[in-house]
Structures are given as C-alpha cells and as structure tokens.
A and B are shown apart, each in its own frame.
Chain A
C-alpha cells in the first residue's frame, strides 16, 4: 500500500499483518510519501523459500530501499515490524533519516513477563491488544471473511517461523544496538500487555539520545488506539530533526 507525497516513510507492520489502509497512514500521507508493504510471508505477499528467520526480512528491506532508490527514509516499525527496523538499522542506516520503534519486539528484558501471543485464544489476543476494551469488542464484533481468516492463519504461520523461539526476540540484537546512531523515537502504550512499558525504558537505555513517548491509556497499538498522540509525537520528532 502506498500513498501521499513528501519525505519517504516506510512503515513495517507487526505480527497481525498490514491489514487495511488505516487512519494514521492516511494522515501520515498528508505530508509524506508512505509505503506500507505486506512482509514476505504475510497478507497477499508470497512466502519465499529463503524466508527462515527475521534477519532475512531485515536484509530484504535493505535491498528493497536500494531497489526503490529511496534515501532519507523515516523508518517506522510496530511490534514485530519494529524488530525488523532495528535489525535493519544495526546493519546499514545509510538510506535512513530516522527510526521510530512502536512497541517493538526484538529484545528481552529480564524480570518483565511478556504476554504470549501464541497461547492466547483469538479473542484473548484482541482483548490484550487494546487498553480500551470497547475497541476490542468492536473488532471482535466483525466476523472476518473467509479470505481474511486464511490470511490470518498465513500470518500466524509466518510469525511462528520468525518469532517462536526465543519468543519475539533475537539474543544477538542487543549487543549491536550501539550501532544505531540515527535520531530515534520510541513510542509505547502504558498498558501494553504484550511487551510491557518497561521495554520502552530498556530500548531508551540501549539507544543513547533516543526520545521516548509513553502514551497513557493505550495498549500495544498506539498508532491505532491513540492515533492523535502517536502522530503528535511523530511529527514533533520529525520537525526537531529538520530544525
């Protein structure tokens, strides 16, 4: 999915897939050229034979930036997409202008229990994505089409391939995060039931000079549940880089 014009933004989706063109994408597209790909193995993308683990996607997207001739890209990743973004940034940030990690997977913090997406029922999963349970109920009230259900299973299959064990992190990532010298924004919901907000502090500590925004009354999807607060923080962050 693509939209808008202006400085390029590449948004990397999480384990649930890219889904539809969401309001926050539309508003980002008001002054950015926004690209939201389905990762290989997700949504309508094919599942290539070379896809074995998450770092394959990091190299894939570095190649993608090169193939598209994109530079000065604002890279934004949510959850599993944030993990891909971090794996890209430690390898090669020459085409990147900034990094925004939204409730990013990829690291482990001792003593902070995470939710287990793979053990929750589909209903529990939706409830645990949101702080505002009315939003969860609204999402559960919509019965997915057969096609959407198939894509959901395909997304789960690929997520297991990439993030089953260790659960949603790479033990090697942490020791190379010091290579990230890009302007970095870390966005988290204060009521994230998958990766609790302590993870925001851990990322902040690992990336010196990073900015952190913990959004109140918000779950795992700040860009969805609190799009205004997410965009305020993002736009302010981008404006500061430019000035």
Chain B
C-alpha cells in the first residue's frame, strides 16, 4: 500500500467567527483576515510537518493548489514542492493540483513538473485537476469550457514531455508555434499521474481509459461515496476490457490518532469541525458554477447539497459516522482503514494529518502514532484483488 501524507496548509490562525459577516472562507473573505506574521510561522511549520513525514516513512508527501482562500495557502504549489525537493531524500512528492483549465499556458505546468522531477531525480508524482468552482470565479476561466480546456492542456503537456521538439500546437484553446521543453522530465516516458476528484463520471471514464490508467483519487467524501466511485472506476476498466489495479484507486481523507478513542475524539473534534464547517464552507453558486459539470451532474450535486443542508452544522461524530473522518486509537484507526481497504480495494491512502486549526503538537503526535502503530499494520495487510 502507498501511504501518503497530505497537507492543505490552511490559514490555521483564521478567526472562525468570520461566518458572522461572510458566507465563505473563499474569494469573498477579505484578506485583512490574513496576518503575514502568522502566515510566516504557518508556512514553515507546515513544511516542517511534511519533512517530518519523510522521516516517519510516508511514501509520498502531497502538496495542493487552491486560490484566494483560507482553506489552503498553496496557490503556487511548485514553490512548496520545490522547498521539499531539496530537504527530503526518500519520499516521492505529489503535487495534487495543478488546475489545468485555470491556466493560460499549460506548458508552464509541464516545465514546473519537469524541473521538480529533475531536481528530485524522479520523485515527482504529477497531479492534474480541474480546480474547484470558486476558482472559476477567481481566475475568470470559463466553467462551461472547463472539460475542453482540461483535456487539451493535458494532451499538450503529455506531448511536450514525450515528443522531441520543436513542434507546434494549434488547438482550440491553446496555440503555440514552438513547443520544445527544456528540461525534459527525469522519469521516462513521464512522471506518474494522479487525478484527484470529487467524483465526476466524465473524469472517471477519462482517467480509467487504457491509454492512461491514472490513479483516481477520491477526496474528502463519505466512505459509501468513495466505494461507489471506486466501483465506477472498476466498471469503467471492465468496459475498456481490463481489470483495474488497486493502485488506480486512491482515497484522501483526514485522519487523527491518539492514545485512546476518547482522547482522539476530544482532541480532534473542534479542529475537524472547523475544517468542514468553516474552511470548506461555500455557497452552492460558488462551488458549482454553471457548466462546471454536465446539467445532469449539477442537478444531482445540487440535490445532494440541498438534502444535507440543515440548521445545525454537522459535528465530529457526524463526520466519523459517515466515514469522512477516521479518528481514534491506533487500533481503531488501523482496523477501520483495513476494513475499508478490504471492502473497497484501494491501494493508495492519502492521509491529511493536519486539518483546520489542528495545532502543531497534536499534528506531530498523531503523525508519530500513525507511523509507528498504523502504517506497519497496513503495509503487512494482504488484500484480495478488487471485484467490481
């Protein structure tokens, strides 16, 4: 099993009472809420946590990309990945951005990833995403052209990595007279590719295509949703005439480990509630701009959101019950994870060990216990190949 350490680098010093005045920690929350002195401390602390993950034996350190939000401060993930590239020697580094439709020159991403791959001697995992709804408001990228731009940018990046230049690209959204990438990627033909997603049918079909067989990473979802979308990957692979490998199935979720279930719940509750209810808070119009996904998908997603809206925000217990958050003693956490893994068949586990306002000492304690008492057990676990 690939065990990965994920960081969002949230603005943990956020005044959580912002919700009295603003509807979201995204785009509309004034940046007067950001204190650069706190930011300086947080960036360095978070990088320390990722470096500590390398020492602890995580297989992959994951950075991320979000824009104009307290939810995650990694607007330019290559900077953070670059900092890790030189300070770590063992773990792979995954950039679980870059939001291709938002970018006007996809070759910048091809270059950024190729540089990281060269510095690390082939430790880069290349993520490609479409970006979250609010980011279409922020960048002006047209949500109704998101899929088209994503596919064209992806195809161009792959060509730039694998074809000898110069060649030209005359596409619908991007046109370049001269494409001739320096540096070429260290890994040949190109770095491994992961596709983080909230679960869109179009994305699943595309990622599972035999030409790609990319790792599909379901992010921050209830466990039954993870299972449903992982099954869709397996079914898509079957339709394409092959069996999906467990390495094509990934799950990203917050995890917290402490001495006992009770201590874990007590220590994590306020911070996980802040994560889901304050940092991730977004009105539907921000999250799902028209055209971002098909009319049918938008209807389904809006209905789900309407169904889950209640006056009282969900609690830590609710998140644990839905399997959106795994929290407890090392024994509870490893058994829960082992059970889901056996049931669903994923082989890529992406643990977000810091979430919301979780402070440094608790983050490190949980990471250490996870590495010492959960990780070895998961590595030893035998899993039958997944059935669709």
Structural contact, B286 and A164, CB atoms closer than 8 A? no
Do B295 and A164 touch across chains, with their CB atoms under 8 A apart?
no
CB of B359 closer than 8 Å to a CB of A: no
Are A160 and B290 also in contact (CB < 8 A) when A120-B285, A165-B142 are? yes
Tell me, in angstroms, the Cα distance from A159 to B291 when the chains sit together.
Answer: 9
Q: Are B286 and A119 in contact (CB under 8 A)?
A: yes
* CB <8 Å contact, A157 and B290: yes
Q: Which of A28-36, A148-156, A186-194 contacts B (4 or more CB under 8 A)?
A: A148-156
Q: Whole-angstrom distance from the CB of A114 to the nearest CB of chain B?
A: 14
Partner of A118, one of B137, B145, B298, B299: B137
Alpha-carbon gap, A85 to B298, bound state (A): 31
Count of chain A residues near B, Cβ 8 A? 17
In this complex, what residue of B is CB-closest to A121? B285
Q: Contacts A119-B137, A153-B299: A159 and B285 contacting too (C-beta < 8 A)?
A: no
Contact, CB under 8 Å: A164 / B142: yes
State how many angstroms separate the Cβ of A84 from the closest Cβ of chain B: 17
Q: Apart from A149-B299, A153-B299, A160-B290, what 15 extra A-B contacts exist at CB < 8 Å?
A: A118-B290, A119-B285, A120-B285, A153-B290, A153-B298, A158-B144, A160-B142, A161-B145, A161-B291, A164-B136, A164-B142, A164-B289, A164-B291, A165-B141, A166-B140
Chain B interface (Cβ within 8 Å of chain A)? 136-137, 140-145, 283-286, 289-291, 295, 298-299
Bound-complex Cα distance A191 to B346 (A): 57
Q: Does A118 lie within 8 Å of B295, measured CB to CB?
A: no
Smallest Cβ-Cβ distance to B139: which chain A residue: A165
Interface on A for B, CB 8 Å cutoff?
A: 118-121, 149-150, 153-154, 156-161, 164-166
A42 to chain B, nearest CB (A): 13
A161-B285 Cα distance, complex, nearest whole Å: 16
A-B contact pairs, 22 of them (CB 8 A): A118-B285, A118-B290, A119-B137, A121-B284, A149-B299, A150-B299, A153-B295, A153-B298, A157-B291, A158-B144, A159-B290, A160-B143, A160-B289, A160-B290, A160-B291, A161-B142, A161-B145, A164-B136, A164-B142, A164-B143, A165-B141, A166-B140
Give every chain A residue within 8 A of B291 (Cβ-Cβ).
156-157, 160-161, 164
How far does the alpha carbon of A150 sit from the alpha carbon of B295 in the complex, in Å? 8
Closest CB of chain B to A148's CB: distance in Å?
Answer: 13
Cβ contacts under 8 Å, A159 to chain B: 290
B290 in contact with A156 (CB, 8 Å): yes
Complex: chain B residue closest to A166, CB-CB: B140
Q: How far is the CA of A215 from the CA of B94 in the complex (A)?
A: 58
